[in-house]
Amino acid sequence: MDFIKELHEARLTRGDGARSLTYTDCCERAYLTLLILEVLRKFPGTSPIVRNYARITSGYDSYNHFRMSGSDLYNFVFFIVGDEDAHKRLKDPGAARKARERTYFPLMHFNRYIERLRYGKQPITDDQSLFMKLEGVLRITNSDYKTVRRNLFSFGSLSTREKQSTITRLLLASRAKLRTSDIIGSLEELVAKKDLETYRVTDPEPKVSVPDIDVTGKDLAGYRYLVGAKNLMLTKKFLQLAKDNKSVPANILQAYLPAIIMIDNIVKGGPGFVQMLRTLENRAKKTPK
């Protein structure tokens, strides 16, 4: 129970940590944190950790302010439902604002769930319905995460091997996305004590931040100079499929080929040209959107 004594502030989101996160990152990490709480909830030895974490998450009237004394989950929700002041703390404030405009987070449903965790109540059907709703709202497209969710809500009927595979998959995702968070230590300790990690599961997790890709009309006007007017709509589809980790049909990939050729030409030009491209990108990212 050292975790309960030690937990007093957010870790992943404190300081300048949020500067490395996009709005999409916050959505994904909030969802993964909830999956971890569901795992810890199922074992008597870690259920007190869940109650305490839920208390720290729900100990405020709203999610209107960034709080060092709140949990990382609290601050993820602050970024997800917040205003321009919240988005200024993130990696790409302009893209975060656009993503927020099309995100309708079920705050009341979420608060009811956190309150049930806080008071140690047994899981109910409404809990799984919240996760399914969040998958749509937060645009969780990773099929492995959805499989973990389905298995967790039928955990009692799983074989030992299925339980190990499910929790190992979540552990790999957490190590990639929540390495410095305030909850992963408890998951890793539980996995070690209960021998829940299996090395039959490969690690497919990318270690990079997921950009808030949202191609607007203004963006398409710029893409016209890179791929040509006839390829604009297929290019927009390519970007969305790439962001969602989905396979890209050949005709859609072909539409984006002019941009790929441009980058290839720059690479072939030598390190000097590549560095100029990187410098140009950094300037573009700092330009107000």
In this predicted structure, which of 43-52, 66-75, 174-183, 276-285 has the lowest mean pLDDT?
Answer: 276-285
In this structure, the answer to whether residues 228 and 181 fall within a common structural domain is no
In a domain, 208, yes or no: no
In a domain, 203, yes or no: no
What's the whole-model pTM score? Answer: 0.72
Average pLDDT over residues 32-59: 93
The pLDDT of residue 7 is above 70: no
In this structure, the answer to whether residues 12 and 121 fall within a common structural domain is yes
In a domain, 239, yes or no: yes
In this structure, are residues 163 and 190 in contact, taking their beta carbons and an 8 Å threshold? no
pLDDT digits (tens, 9 = 90+) for 69-95: 789 999 999 999 988 888 888 888 888
In a domain, 34, yes or no: yes
In this structure, the answer to whether residues 124 and 48 fall within a common structural domain is yes
The pLDDT of residue 139 is above 80: yes
Name the burial class of residue 115, with classes exposed (0-12), middle (13-18) and buried (19+) by CB atoms within 10 angstroms of its CB. Answer: middle
Q: How many independent structural domains does the chain possess?
A: 2
pLDDT digits (tens, 9 = 90+) for 244-277: 666 778 877 888 888 888 888 888 888 788 888 8
In a domain, 268, yes or no: yes
Domain hosting 225: range is 217-286
In this structure, the answer to whether residues 190 and 64 fall within a common structural domain is yes
